[in-house]
Amino acid sequence: MRSKKGALAAAILIALALGSCVSVGPTTLDTKGLPGPEDHTLAFGYLGVHGPFGKTAMEYPRYIQLNPAFPAEVYIPFRPAGNTGYCYLYPQPVGSSWKLLSYQQTSGRSVTYFMQGVMGKNPYDPRMEAPGLLYIGAWAYGRDESYKGSAMSMDAWGIVELPDDGYELRALEAMLPSFKKTAWQPLIERRIEELKK
């Protein structure tokens, strides 16, 4: 009896440990009451961490809404393909402005928070100007090879743009199952067709 309890506790601990390994943001989208493409924008792209230990997702990128005409909200992008960089933001109303406020990196038991602040619009900060799909590009935290300064400088590290390597297509393919039977499905499928040509 005792050993069973022990085994259960161990199983829970292992599950928690493994769970925290791949937890980088929400994965499953609730399509009930999902806003449609007529007055909302679906921003998607790739936010990763590329380093000597491989390619993983950027952990908990928090997007903050900055336009005072819209509600004050923070969203973490969905991860349709698990612990990879492919991600999309819950559809947001046209006119709202989003900025990557912070993200984090877990290494063992320590967590490093990267605070971006609220000043300046980076290319991966979507401003919802038109309804429909909005590709924010493919970005990863890593070493900037074009940096000219000292090799030891921390300034050489940051979020850098990745060369176009089919990221948009793979992001769309990853998120398509989540948007099945919604008004977004034909848009996503149409864009996939265009990119496959």
Partner 1 sequence: MNKRKLATVLIAFLAVSVWAQTKPAQPKRSEAVLIAKVRIQPAIDEGFFIGYVKVDKRKPPMTKAYLELFSPGSIMGSRHEEIGPLNAFGYPRFAIPKDRIIVLRSIRVNILDSGSLFFRLPFNVSFSVPEDSPFVYLGTFVLRYADEYFTPVSFERIDEFDEALAELRAALGPQVKLNRAVFTEYQP
Site residues for partner 1 per CB under 8 A: 64, 66-68, 71-72, 74, 97, 99, 101-102, 115, 117-121, 125
Q: Report, in Å, the least distance between residue 64 CB and partner 1.
A: 7
Neighbours of 4 (CB within 10 A): 8
Q: Output 83 or 102, the one with its CB closest to partner 1.
A: 102
E strand or H helix at 126: none
Q: Output 66 or 81, the one with its CB closest to partner 1.
A: 66
Q: Are 40 and 92 in contact (CB under 8 A)?
A: yes
Q: Report, in Å, the least distance between residue 125 CB and partner 1.
A: 7
Q: Which two tokens mark 186?
A: 């034909």
Q: Output 87 or 101, the one with its CB closest to partner 1.
A: 101
Q: Output 1 or 130, the one with its CB closest to partner 1.
A: 130
Q: Are 50 and 41 in contact (CB under 8 A)?
A: no
Q: Report, in Å, the least distance between residue 153 CB and partner 1.
A: 10
Q: Report, in Å, the least distance between residue 118 CB and partner 1.
A: 5
Q: Output 118 or 151, the one with its CB closest to partner 1.
A: 118
Measure the CA dihedral 16/73/31/134, to 10°.
-110
In the chain, the N- to C-terminal Cα span, in Å, equals 62
Residue-wise DSSP of 159-180 = EEEPP-SSHHHHHHHHHGGGGT
Q: Report, in Å, the least distance between residue 111 CB and partner 1.
A: 15
Q: Output 17 or 151, the one with its CB closest to partner 1.
A: 151
Q: Report, in Å, the least distance between residue 137 CB and partner 1.
A: 17
Q: In the block, which residue shows the tokens 């999902």? A: 34
∠ at Cα 127 (124, 132), nearest 5°?
100
